[in-house]
Amino acid sequence: MTGCLTWIHFGDLHVDEADEYEGLSRFRALAAIAESHLGDAVDFALLPGDNANHGTDDQYARIADAMTGLSLPWHVLAGDHDFEPGDLTAMRAITAKMAPYAETIAGYRCLFLDIVSAGKGGPDFRIDPAQRAWIERELSAAAVAGEPVAVFMHAYPGDLRDDPDGIAGLFAAHRVAFVDTGHTHYNELLNDGRVIYGATRSTGQIEEGAPGFSIVTLDDGVPSWRFQAIDDPWPLIQITSPADRRLITDPARADNVPGSAFTVRAKVFGGADTVSLYVDNGQAVPMTRVDGVPSFWSASVDGVGDGLHRLCVSCDGTEDRIQILVRNAGPRPKRNPPVALGRDVNAIGAWLDRGIDGAQRGPNKNGLDW
C-alpha cells in the first residue's frame, strides 16, 4: 500500500472590494470550520488560483490574514486574475513557493504548475517549453521512485492554448492519480479513462449552491472527492477504497474492480467512536481504525457476487455512499482507447451525494448559459 494523501481545496476566492469582500468573508468562515473539524486528518490546504480578483497588494494582504485561520501547510497557485497586473510579484504575500515546483507529501509526488505566466493575461493559459520538459522529468522520476502523482493546476489541460493534448497525454501515459483544478466556478469530476480530474466551486463568485470546500483523498492511488457545503453536518465521511464505478481508470486493479473479497476503507472527518459499513443495505459490518493514519477506518467483506453493488459507510447520522463493480472469475471490463484527454467532454455528470449537480454554471469556456 502506497499510503494516504488528503487535502482540502478552497475554490477560487476572487477577493474584491467591489462586492464588499464577500469571497473573503466566506473564506474566513470556511477556514474556521475546517480548523474545528479536520485536525490532523488533512495533509495540506490548496488555493487553486484567482485568489485576488485584481491582483492588488491590499487584496493579497487580506487573504494572507485570513489564511492564518487554518493551521495547515498551504499550497497556492496563480490564476488569470492573479496575473492581471502583468506579473505575480504581489502574490508572494500569500506564498513563499511560486509554481512550478514539486514536493513529495505522504509518499506522493505532487506537482504544482504555472499555466498563467507564459500567457498574455486573461484566460490565456499556456505551459512554456521549459516547464513542459520539467513536468516530463518529474513524472519520469516519480515512476522510477514508485511514487504516485497528483497534479495541481488552475484549469484543465483542455483549456490550454498550446498543446493541450500533449500535456494531458503526459498525465495519461504516466498514470497520474488525480489532477486538481480551479477556474470552472462549478463542482465537476472528469474521467477520461486514464486520469481523474476535479474542479471545485468558486468561493467568491458562486453560480451554484452554497459556499464550501472539497476534500480529496488518494488511497493507494485511488482518488475520492467530496464537497462539503458550509452548513452540511459533521462528521464528514469519505469512502476512499475501492473506487466508485464512476472513477474507475484501471479495471485490472483490484481496488478499482474488486473480486468477491475486498477491503473497504473510509476517512471520517470530525471524530467518530463507531463506524459501520453496509453492503447493498445488508447487515452492519463494524469498521475498525487503521493504525498510523488519522481518521482512517476499514472493514473486510467476502462472498460478494459479480455485478454492481452499493456500499454505505455510516457514523453518527451521516453517511457516504458509492457504487462498485465486482468481477470474480468473469472477464474484467475492457478499456476503450482514450478520447479527448483532459477535456470536459469526459465529465461524469451529476453526482448529488458528492455535491455535483452537473449544470456547469460558470464563466469559463465550458460554462453553459444561465
Task: Give 30-85 pLDDT, tens digit per residue.
Answer: 999 999 999 899 999 999 999 999 999 999 999 999 999 999 999 999 999 999 99
Q: Is 64 left (phi over 0), alpha (psi -120 to 50) or beta?
A: alpha
Please report how many Cα atoms fall inside a 13 Å half-sphere around the Cα of residue 296, on the Cβ side: 20
How many whole angstroms separate alpha carbon 148 and alpha carbon 98? 22
Q: Which residues lie below 8 Å from residue 75, measured CB to CB, with a gap of 6+?
A: 7, 44, 45, 46, 47, 95, 97, 103, 110, 112, 152
> What does the domain layout of the chain look like in residue ranges?
4-232+339-354, 245-326
Beta-strand pair 178-181/196-199: parallel
Q: What angle do CA 148, 73, 205 make, to 5 degrees?
A: 95
Q: Is 98 exposed, middle or buried (0-12, 13-18, 19+ CB in 10 A)?
A: middle
Q: Which CATH superfamily is domain 245-326 in?
A: Immunoglobulins (2.60.40.10)
Low-confidence ranges of the chain (pLDDT < 50): 1, 369-370
Q: What angle do CA 300, 304, 307 make, to 5 degrees?
A: 130
Q: pLDDT tens for residues 150-195?
A: 999 999 999 999 999 999 999 999 999 999 999 999 999 999 999 9
pLDDT of residue 119: 93
Residue type, 43: D
2: phi then psi, degrees, rounded to nearest 5: -65, -40
pTM: 0.96
Strand locations in the chain, DSSP E? 4-9, 44-47, 74-76, 101-105, 108-112, 149-152, 178-181, 188-191, 196-199, 212-219, 222-229, 236-241, 262-269, 276-279, 285-286, 288-289, 296-301, 307-315, 318-326
How many whole angstroms separate alpha carbon 4 and alpha carbon 59? 34
pLDDT of residue 122: 85
How many whole angstroms separate alpha carbon 137 and alpha carbon 120? 26
Q: Under CATH, to which class is 4-232+339-354 assigned?
A: alpha beta
pLDDT of residue 338: 85
Q: Which residues lie below 8 Å from residue 283, measured CB to CB, with a gap of 6+?
A: none
Q: Which residues lie below 8 Å from residue 130, measured CB to CB, with a gap of 6+?
A: none
Return the sign of the alpha-carbon dihedral for residues 238, 9, 251, 190.
positive
Please, what is the average pLDDT of the chain? 94
How many whole angstroms separate alpha carbon 182 and alpha carbon 123? 12
CA 283 → CA 280, 305, 307, 349, distances in Å?
A: 9, 16, 19, 31
How many whole angstroms separate alpha carbon 218 and alpha carbon 200? 17
How many whole angstroms separate alpha carbon 64 and alpha carbon 45? 14
Q: What is the dihedral of CA 135, 137, 142, 143, to 10 degrees?
A: 110
